[in-house]
Amino acid sequence: MIKDIIVNLSVTKEGSTVGSYAVSVAAALQAHLTGAGDQFARMARRFDLAIVGQADPEMSTTEQIIGETTLFESGRPLIMVPYIQKTPFKLDNVMICWDGSRTAARAVADAIPIIRKSGRVEIVIVANERGKEDEIEGADIGQHLARHELNVDVHRISGGNIDVADALLSHAADSGADFMVMGGYGHSRLREFVLGGVTRSIFESMTVPVLLSH
């Protein structure tokens, strides 16, 4: 159950995109909301959920650094809000990006308390991703979520000649998704985690709020 949320307001002003969205999340989940700037990732460890804004490419990259650090260092789920976001928190059509990995499983588990009131949950599998050969169309995770009384569909899409992130974002647009859930990937380099390719692309090009877990 989500009862304590922290939002980063170190770059954006109060009442801005991420702040307004965080208020709507807290209201929907009946949770307490705290705004904190310095040492955000460390502070987020004491909360159920962290919310940060996507970095505007025409402005400071500080929020991208905060987002990456919070994903890998907080041990908590993170919702990243697009800098173009205009609407409040909605769960009419939730899209879960599933590849059977540990981080995807973690994201699904972290998302369940949040998406319980969703109208529809779609599990999306990109056909050309590795590691899916032993997964039967996502049936197992679909059944798991159905047992949580969620309305679940499983959809397998082809990546074709585009990369996985583009395939996911294209499908999100076509299906009218208003919230995404996915694992946040990274690899260790000199004791620090560096975003994986798909995660970095989502960080840079997201069109709807995304819950990520590592």
Residue 196 has what DSSP assignment? Answer: -
For 139-198, what is each residue's pLDDT tens digit?
Answer: 789 999 999 999 999 999 887 667 888 999 999 999 999 999 999 887 655 445 566 778
pLDDT at 35: 82
Judge if 4-81 and 94-213 fold alike in CATH terms: yes
Measured distance CA(2)–CA(32) in Å, rounded: 9
As a whole-number percent, the residues of the chain with pLDDT over 70 amount to: 84
Of 186 and 133, more confident: 186
State the average pLDDT over residues 41-49: 94
Query: Would the pLDDT of 207 be above 60?
Result: yes
| Averaged pLDDT, 106-125 | 95
In the predicted model, what is the mean pLDDT of the chain? 86
- What integer pLDDT is reported at residue 197 of this predicted model? 78
Statement: 94-213 belongs to CATH 3.40.50.620? yes
Per-residue pLDDT band at 136 (split at 50, 70, 90): very low
DSSP labels for 53-71?
EPPPTTS-SHHHHHHHHHH
How much is the pLDDT for 163?
86
Lowest-pLDDT range of 100-109, 124-133, 165-174? 124-133
List the chain domain ranges: 4-81, 94-213
CATH topology of domain 4-81: Rossmann fold (3.40.50)
CA distances in angstroms from 113 to 66, 91, 125, 132, 200, listed in the order given: 24, 12, 22, 26, 26
Residue 16 or 37, more confident: 16
